[in-house]
Amino acid sequence: MSGYYRRSYPIPPTGPQRSNFWHESSGSDYNHKPYFNGGYKRYGRYGNFVDNDVSSRNHRNRREEVNDGSSSSYESPLLNHEEDTKRPIPRVKWDTEELKAKYHYFDVREKKLIHMEEMTNWNKDSKYPPNGYVLVQENNMGQPRPVFKQRVPQEKAVDPRVEQRQQQQQQQVIPPTYRKLRSKLALLPHIVYDKFSVGPPPPNEIVLSLLSNVATVQDISIKNYFKRYGEISHFEAFSDPNSALPLHIYLIRYGSYSGKLDDAARAAYMAFKDHEGRGCSILGTKFNCTLNKNNILEKTISRTVTDNLNRVRKITNDMKKMEKRQKEEEKKESQAYSERKIPLDLAKQINGRPVLVVSKSFALHHGLRVEDFKVKLRRYRWSRILDHSSGLYVVFNDLEHARNCQKVESGKMLITSRAKRAPVDVRFQLIAPTVDKQPTNDINGNHAALPKSSNQLPTYKTKEELISAATSYILKDLENALHVDIRKRIIGPAVFDTLNPASFPDLIAKKEVKEKERKEVVAKKAEELKKKQSTNNDFDIFSLYSGGVTQSNRNRLKRRGSEVIDILPSGRRKLFKGVKPMAHMLNDDSLSKEQTPVAPSTSSPFDESEDEEMTSSDATEYESGEDDNVEQKKMIKVETESTTPEIDHAEKPLFVSKKAEEIMRIPEPYRPSVGGLPKPIQPDDTIRPNLFIDDLQKTVTDMEDLFILKKVLGLDEPNQNDEKSEHDGTLEYRIWKLRSQAQNFRVDQENQLRLLGAPLDSLLLTGNGSFKAQGYRKIPEKLKSCYLPHRRKPHQPLNTVSYHSETKDGTPEVEREESENLEEPESVPQEISSSRDNRASNRRFQQDIEAQRAAIGTESELLSLNQLNKRKKPVTFARSTIHNWGLYALEPIAAKEMIIEYVGERIRQPVAEMREIRYLKSGIGSSYLFRIDENTVIDATKKGGIARFINHCCEPSCTAKIIKVGGMKRIVIYALRDIGANEELTYDYKFEREIDAEERLPCLCGAPSCKGFLN
Amino acid sequence: MTDYNADDARKLADEFKREGYFDQLKRDILTQKHDNDELPLEQSIRNNVASVVRKMVTDDENLIFKNRGSTSALIEAQLFKQGYKRLGEGEDGIQLEEYLNKVLNDSELTQGIKDKLNGLRPTDGGNESIQNDGSA
């Protein structure tokens, strides 16, 4: 034992010595096996136990060794074969609990296989060769076939190719190579550079140099492009030291931020690898990408710099040459064009303004057009470019601009020549305006425009002349202005006003008469048509219904009198006057405008004559046709009469005998009736809340009543008489007063009922005397409906809207005319489209608009379309019974239809809170804030639609829904049920419940299920 | 330059208008009493127009049942034609053209304008004309 071993008390617990140290007591043969194996042992560098015998690492050898040293009780099924083929017997080195788990197939203590029982011989029936087999392809009758072949473990392996090659060599055939030709040395696998690495770090920079000649790429896009390989720690763009212009050489250094040193190098390598050979193209500009090693950056830069210097030298040389040539040309040109002038026919257009000229021959030669110049000179403030046979004239308004333009562009501006297909530089020649030229132009020019203009500008010698000239101007203007004013402001409006049809009432009346006549004719035609139809078809729906009513009336008639048949014609007509079939009503209306459709009520038979007058000849025709119908129906009625119960029988007196006659002689109320208890004959008024004197007097009808009354009051006749005589003087007055009071009260009540439809609430009648005497006091909202006219009739179908329209024209004539029009056969049947169709077409329209807007490409609000507006229903606002104003439907609205959008300012929640307070302070009692969601509120107080007038109701007719239109949340009111015309629209406000009693808002909706409060 | 050129006259006229004298003149002419009429010119023209139009309507009733705007435009053009010829017709017609000529050629009016122009000049500051004035 070496000192090392002894010292190695805290040796890393690896190797056998650990088990030795730990499990000395439980030592077994296996544990100490290594000690006895070789002659000596040594410890490896890391303290691992290494067997001296190198061959012991050989698997087979070790197995043998195990077999030698172990007297194993275990015998593998293969043991009965050769030693070589034996399954290795597991060797237990460390018998610890911990390690035992690893031997899941072998129990270390018991030294036997755990799953022994479950194991079976794979070759029980010796179906296969005992040593195993291999599958070999054999050529059987030309086809390859797999064949079992016994494995021979002792046989040495032979490379089949060797044999093949030998054969080939014999046959002098060049053997095929099985390895690829390597042109260079194989690359070493990438060795990760870390802190332990020695030597220079791998390059973590890449160098970009320009491949193409134009670079318009910005640094940032390059950076972004290379960012995908890794984090860029440094980015540098180099510029030419001579000219400070960018060289378009970039250095990108990657950093390793994750702590791994290799990351940067890897990123750089990846970037380089991706673009190796083909270069990288960033936004259309090509770059060469290399790793920055071997000073490639410096090399590239210096190369480019020298290149640039060379180029600059070349260009300067060229420029010198050019300048020389140009000067020569200019000399020539100036000689040639020295006397270039503005042609006379352009003089008017140029109008003495400075001009730059390009000679026509030059323009023609290169095929230059005006448009080219317009594009090239777009930065200059020229006014127009004229194409003339003598050249192209660029007209400027200002001489300075023209000079500037010439200075900058002449001889430098390049326009692609269409003839040469290469850019050529254009030279401009300036023709400055000459002030004194105009008179000369004037003198020798025979052009019309110029002399005139010069004549128009006379000069004035004195101040008087000037003033008179100004006066003449003014007078001229004044005349024009007067004419314009007279025409536009006097005659125009006067004509328009006089043409007002209202100022020609006679003409209108005439026209109306004509119109009426025309309508009558049309109506007649329609009637005829209808009559034909009705005669053809007896089971007309109108006659069926109306017939039923007339029949029942007629039956009664028949019973009353026996002379049925005689009365019939007139009687029938009388009935028709009251209960008319719909078709008849229409006829009457069209004939007499004055008559309003009367409510069905049996009218007196005396206005028969009037009726006669109104029916025209064809109306009687119609009636004769109707006669048949009636007759027929009567027949039917008679047949079914027996089955229907006769109400009239019940009214007949029960008694027919003599005694009955006797009873009948007694006045009606006093007649005996059938029943156990006596019934009061007089109605009892005394239970009424306010009993007046005359009521009392009426109640006392006979002696019996008076007797009972006296008894009740406890009055004795003799005593009272004396006392009464004392008061006799005032009694009459008092009685009168009471009576008149009662009378007044009744009249008041009646008036109140007639006016407002509801009795005055008793709470309002508390004081006696005038209302004024009671001073100011707050009247609860509920009671206001008693006396405020617009608050009457809560919760019947309201009439507030039509109330207004009806007062405008006494009879609903418009409606009637409309209905007439509908009856006209010639009228085109209105295409009734469903709301769904409407919406579809609206959507199409919307898409059209949107497409157009996209085409225009502006963000203007002009074309923005509120698609909800299209679906809006006709509604209006009017005074409401519920609260100040309400919204009313003008037309019947079907359930689930959209009615109106709640429009208003879209504000945030804090703004809404602030505004609410402000509105309250400024006295706006009504709240028109509608919450969309927790942070958005629609405020319709100052800016908003009429939807804000919709009141709350506990039994609402509508509901508010929040829908998204184009990504925006909007409030839309939908009908909950079918809503009639002129009905007030309501929805449930759904206010949050308020606990504080003072904060609660009373609900005045008056619905049967009213909760009493809004919140 | 001692001479005034045409631009100066224009400028002067513009200045005149800018001061509001022009509109005032116009208003005066339109509201002054017409020759022997009690009513101002404006009103009399209006009445005249109304009577003419009414006559037209009686000639052709359909006029009032047509589109009011376009009809009135047509009638207006008709009235304006040939120096308000239609308005001059009839016994109490206005010879508007003549009258306007007369008013405009009135020496008083011209003198008034001239006076105003004279009064205008000194107040006219920073203008080119005043500079010229100074040199003159």
Are the C-beta atoms of A547 and A629 separated by less than 8 Å?
A: yes
pLDDT at A178 over 90: no
Write out the residue range of the structural domain in which residue B19 sits. 6-131
Residues of chain A in contact with residue B53, where contact means CB-CB under 8 angstroms, are 494-495, 498-499
Mutate to test the interface with B, among A468, A482, A499 (most CBs of B within 10 A): A499
Give the separation between CA A669 and CA A682, rounded to whole angstroms: 8
Query: What token pair was written down for A984?
Result: 């007030």
pLDDT on residue A567: 43
Are the C-beta atoms of B22 and A481 separated by less than 8 Å?
A: yes
Average pLDDT over residues A971-976: 90
pLDDT at A229 over 90: no
Mean pLDDT of chain A: 69
Could you give the C-alpha distances from A210 to A213, A218, A281, A287, in angstroms and in order? 7, 13, 10, 5
> In Å, how far is A992's CA from the nearest CA of chain B?
56
Residues of chain B in contact with residue A475, where contact means CB-CB under 8 angstroms, are 104, 109-110, 113
State whether A474 and B113 contact (CB < 8 Å).
yes
pLDDT at A319 over 80: yes
B111: nearest CA in chain A? Answer: A471
Of the candidates A714, A713, A685, which has an alpha carbon nearest to the alpha carbon of residue A700? Answer: A685
Q: Does residue A618 sit in helix, strand or coil?
A: helix
Establish if A481 touches chain B: CB-CB under 8 angstroms: yes
Establish if A502 touches chain B: CB-CB under 8 angstroms: no
Highest CATH level, class, for A340-435:
alpha beta
Are the C-beta atoms of A739 and A693 separated by less than 8 Å?
A: yes
State whether B110 and A475 contact (CB < 8 Å).
yes
The neighbour count for residue A27, using CB atoms within 10 Å, is 12
> In Å, how far is B123's CA from the nearest CA of chain A?
15
The neighbour count for residue B117, using CB atoms within 10 Å, is 24
Average pLDDT over residues A17-38: 41
**Could you report the predicted ipTM of this complex, rounded to two decimals?**
0.79
Backbone torsions φ then ψ of A174, nearest 5 degrees: -70, 125
Whether residue B119 lies inside any domain: the answer is yes
State whether A507 and B64 contact (CB < 8 Å).
yes
pLDDT on residue A597: 43
Establish if A656 touches chain B: CB-CB under 8 angstroms: no
Residues of chain A in contact with residue B68, where contact means CB-CB under 8 angstroms, are 496, 499-500
Residues of chain B in contact with residue A504, where contact means CB-CB under 8 angstroms, are 57, 64
Backbone torsions φ then ψ of A46, nearest 5 degrees: -100, 20
Of the candidates A621, A453, A634, A648, which has an alpha carbon nearest to the alpha carbon of residue A527? Answer: A621
Could you give the C-alpha distances from A265 to A190, A494, A539, in angstroms and in order? 11, 93, 101
Of the candidates B101, B103, B55, B61, which has an alpha carbon nearest to the alpha carbon of residue B78? Answer: B55
Establish if A477 touches chain B: CB-CB under 8 angstroms: yes
Establish if A476 touches chain B: CB-CB under 8 angstroms: no
Query: What token pair was written down for A480?
Result: 């024009």
Poorest-pLDDT segment among A503-517, A759-773, A937-951: A759-773
Residues of chain B in contact with residue A479, where contact means CB-CB under 8 angstroms, are 100, 104
Q: With residue A250 as reference, give the H or E element that holds it.
A: strand A246-254
Whether residue B136 lies inside any domain: the answer is no
Give the separation between CA A278 and CA A441, rounded to whole angstroms: 69
Q: With residue A459 as reference, give the H or E element that holds it.
A: strand A459-460
pLDDT at A390 over 50: yes
Nearest to B68 among A478, A490, A499 (CB): A499
pLDDT at A515 over 70: yes
Can A205-311 and A340-435 be said to share one CATH topology? yes
Topology classification of domain A205-311: Alpha-Beta Plaits (3.30.70)
> In Å, how far is B133's CA from the nearest CA of chain A?
8
Q: A463: buried, middle or exposed (CB in 10 Å: 19+, 13-18, 0-12)?
A: middle
Could you give the C-alpha distances from A940 to A84, A873, B68, in angstroms and in order? 101, 19, 39
**DSSP string covering A830-872:** P----HHHHHHHHHHHHHHHHHHHHHHT---STT---HHHHT-
Are the C-beta atoms of A693 and A686 separated by less than 8 Å?
A: no
**Chain segment A819-875, per-residue pLDDT in tens:** 444 343 443 444 445 667 777 887 788 788 777 777 766 555 555 556 677 678 888
User: Quick one: DSSP state of residue B65?
Assistant: G
State whether A486 and B45 contact (CB < 8 Å).
yes
Residues of chain A in contact with residue B64, where contact means CB-CB under 8 angstroms, are 499-501, 504, 507
Average pLDDT over residues B124-128: 41
Confidence category of residue A539, pLDDT binned at 50, 70, 90: very low
Query: What token pair was written down for B91?
Result: 């016994």
Query: What token pair was written down for A875?
Result: 């509604």
The beta-strand segments (E) located in A32-142 are: 42-43, 49-50, 106-107, 112-113, 133-140
State whether A473 and B26 contact (CB < 8 Å).
no
Q: Domain ranges in chain A? A: 3-113, 205-311, 340-435, 538-579+593-643, 658-756, 841-866
Confidence category of residue A321, pLDDT binned at 50, 70, 90: very high
Average pLDDT over residues A98-127: 76
- Any idea what the Cα angle at residue A913 is, between residues A911 and A916, rounded to 5°? 105
- Which residues, other chains included, contact A33 with Cβ-Cβ below 8 Å and sequence gap of 6+? A69
Query: For a pLDDT cut of 70, what percent of chain A falls above it?
Result: 61
Q: Does residue A151 sit in helix, strand or coil?
A: coil
Poorest-pLDDT segment among A279-288, A721-730, A788-797: A788-797
Q: What is the Cβ-side half-sphere exposure of residue A262, based on CA atoms within 13 angstroms?
A: 8
pLDDT on residue A316: 92
Average pLDDT over residues B73-93: 71
Average pLDDT over residues A278-299: 83
Poorest-pLDDT segment among A396-410, A964-978, B36-50, B76-90: B76-90
Could you give the C-alpha distances from A15 to A60, A471, A813, in angstroms and in order? 21, 128, 118
Residues of chain B in contact with residue A471, where contact means CB-CB under 8 angstroms, are 110, 113-114, 117
Partners of residue A384 on adjacent β-strands: A395
Are the C-beta atoms of A350 and A393 separated by less than 8 Å?
A: yes
Poorest-pLDDT segment among A23-32, A374-383, A503-512, B63-72: A23-32
Residues of chain B in contact with residue A465, where contact means CB-CB under 8 angstroms, are 4
Q: Does residue A657 sit in helix, strand or coil?
A: coil
Poorest-pLDDT segment among A216-220, B8-12, B122-126: B122-126
pLDDT at B121 over 50: yes
* The total number of structural domains that make up chain B: 1
